[in-house]
Amino acid sequence: MPAAPNNLTSRQKQFLKGLAHPLSPYVHIGKEGLSEAIVKTIDSELGHHELIKVKIGNNSGLEKHHTCQAVTEQTGSSAVQLIGKIIVLYRPNPELPREKRIILPKGT
């Protein structure tokens, strides 16, 4: 799995937040918690889309900050935003066709 940029600039995060705004969560973490199957699903979705939303369900019993950190570590992704119980994740995939890749802006 390709590593995501660990240090997205504020400009890049703002750009990604704008792209993520209309998205619906691709993955829902439920009462099973952060299982291996859920991590594999998140990893797969990142491979297909580069930018996804993950929703932490109220019945999951997970703390959102710890869950966000665990997901980013296990998938090699970057957390763009954590708002409520929605995590926005980004991981570039150079194997996607050029027209489907997200091109990040440069600089601050």
Return the domain boundaries, the chain: 10-93
Tokens representing 52 are 């996804």
**What long-range pairs does 27-30 form, CB within 8 A, spacing at least 24?**
27/52, 27/54, 27/55, 28/54, 28/55, 28/57, 29/54, 29/55, 29/56, 29/57, 29/60, 29/62, 29/67, 30/57, 30/59, 30/60
Residue 1 has pLDDT above 80, yes or no: no
Residue 17 has pLDDT above 60, yes or no: yes
CB neighbourhood size of 5 (10 A): 13
Tens digit of each residue's pLDDT (9 = 90 or more) over 18-49: 999 999 999 999 998 999 999 999 999 999 99
Name the class of domain 10-93: alpha beta
pTM score of the predicted model: 0.91
What pLDDT shows up at residue 106?
A: 85
